[in-house]
Amino acid sequence: MARYVFITGGVVSSLGKGLASAALGALLQARGYTVRLRKLDPYLNVDPGTMSPFEHGEVFVTDDGAETDLDLGHYERFTGVSARRTDSVSSGRIYSNVLEKERRGDYLGKTIQVIPHVTNEIKDFIGIGDDEVDFMLCEIGGTVGDIEGLPFFEAIRQFAQERPRGECIFMHLTLVPYISASGELKTKPTQHSVKELRAIGIAPDVLLLRSDRAVPEKEREKIALFCNVRPDAVIAAPDLKTIYEAPLAYHREGLDRAVLDAFQISPAPRPNLDRWTDVMDRMENAEGEVRVAIVGKYTQLEDAYKSIAEALTHGGMANRTRVKAEWIDAEIFEQEDPAAYLEPYDAILVPGGFGERGTEGKIKAAQFAREKGVPYLGICLGMQMAVIEAARDLAGVADAGSEEFDHEAGKRRFTPVVYHLKEWVQGNRMVERKVSDDKGGTMRLGAYTAVLAEGSRVAQIYGATSIEERHRHRYEVDLKYRDKLETCGLKFSGMSPDGRLPEIVEIPEHPWFIGVQFHPELKSKPFAPHPLFADFVRAAVEASRLV
């Protein structure tokens, strides 16, 4: 049976519960334990799949096709444990499950209530797979006191009460703000947050204090006294230069020791932190720098491309190079010449996205990269835009475009080089979709196999001719244009096993030009950079030396 750590937050959101959870998972692994991390989100969406990136940041996709919170990306990057559909749930999913059971008559005519029916559903979810690992880390989204989060707090309170003593602990993350006018760190917000938590029946075992500076011993002792927490379980979490410093920094502060003490695990196995020492060495002792332009449409919120930014950092680690990723709004290129913006960069990346806005700018970015010999990586929509650009400018399909951009029924503005995907093979079954289907959860989601052409650049990069990558899309490049495009130099170097769906395109005569229909960034880790990103940064380093 697993031991449970429930991670909650207070005072304000966005303090870094996900990062703290991931770092704790990494530290427990360093001591030889197995872990799984889980996210419980109070919002009423069934999942983040239909939410705008401006609302919630990126959508992280698991191998089994779940659209989840971006914190699951942190979990994977820090622990290397592949997330599953059962590692993320929202209030919307919980209530949907309860109502489906009620319609089936599972509750035998009882009145359905938050307690016990909703809380029981949450507890059932929390307990999935608890015989598989040593520690289950469950993060509760939002902050204590949020009305929508109350069922989750009640559920974890009940869960801890029902388990044998010593199998569950609570870790609470709060803000200790610095008031410049008085020159003091203030502990009162933390005291009030813990008071709120205790009022609903949860007493924290470990407190993690977020601050923009070191928290002196005096303030920690005061918090321990007023919050009824052991002094050695009050852990400072000041701002860090990089998120990858978190495991080492939290270990120095004693977070993993405090958690194991709360479980009365003594003596604890000694930690092996060589992995994280190497990660920090590669970051702090970079031997150069490259500039990469990310031409996208959600550039006002970097969390919209969180995994891409981190994968570029990992690619830099693989090359002992610092990657300076800079965001450029694709819409700018619809009015202005991209050359003035893109010439200073060593490489160009065009990420995924949905809808027509900004796509003409992405096409121009792909054209610039192709014509100027600048390393180019197109991901999902970024691959489609590269294909459309080649169709227009090389293959003579002047009005090439995507069905995604033709909104009016019966009025076609483009020749659809990219079409709405209506069927595909998943495992041993055929999946069928219609344009009129619900939007949520209906894309081609999760891990699929791709077969790489012998001798292709991508086969050399991967060191294999069969790979598995995660997808999230509902539009595909139409193979009827393949011969025409390949005659012009754009090679289809990766295909689905049945040969029906293009997975990768590349230009062999270009220094480095690759488009992929999948999302390689989702599988990259600091201690295991994704091969595409590692080689993309290598190409950027070479390009920078030619300037």
**Residues with catalytic annotation?**
380, 519, 521
CA distance 170 to 153: 11
Q: What is the DSSP secondary structure assignment for residue 99, as one 8-state letter?
A: H
Q: Are 4 and 168 in contact (CB under 8 A)?
A: yes
Question: Which pairing describes strands 502-506 and 491-495: parallel, antiparallel, or unpaired?
Answer: antiparallel
Record the tokens describing residue 457, joined without a space: 């650049």
Q: Give Cβ neighbours of residue 260 (< 8 Å, ≥ 6 apart).
A: 31, 266, 268
Alpha-carbon distance 518 to 424, whole Å? 15
d(CA 152, CA 143): 11
**DSSP per-residue letters across 207-224:** EEEEESS---HHHHHHHH
Where do we find the tokens 């969406």? 45
The secondary structure of 163-182 as a DSSP string is SPTTSEEEEEEEE--EETTT
Within 46-124, strands assigned E span 60-61, 67-68, 88-90
Q: Which of 337, 324, 369 is nearest to 350 (CA)?
A: 369
The label of the residue with tokens 């939002």 reads: 142
> What is the C-alpha separation between 392 and 362, in angstroms, rounded?
14
| CA gap 126, 89 in Å, rounded | 9
Tokens representing 78 are 């820090």
> Rounded to an integer, what distance in angstroms lies between the CA atom of residue 196 and that of residue 162?
22
What is the distance between the alpha carbons of residues 205 and 547, in angstroms, rounded to a whole number? 56
- In this structure, the strands spanning 415-420 and 423-426 are unpaired
- Rounded distance between C-alpha atoms, residue 162 and residue 468, angstroms: 41
What string of H, E and C letters represents the secondary structure of 130-159?
CCCCCEEEEEECCCCCCHHHHHHHHHHHHH
Write the CA distances from 351 to 113, 267, 306, 467, integer angstroms: 44, 48, 11, 20
Q: Are the beta carbons of 362 and 458 closer than 8 angstroms?
A: no
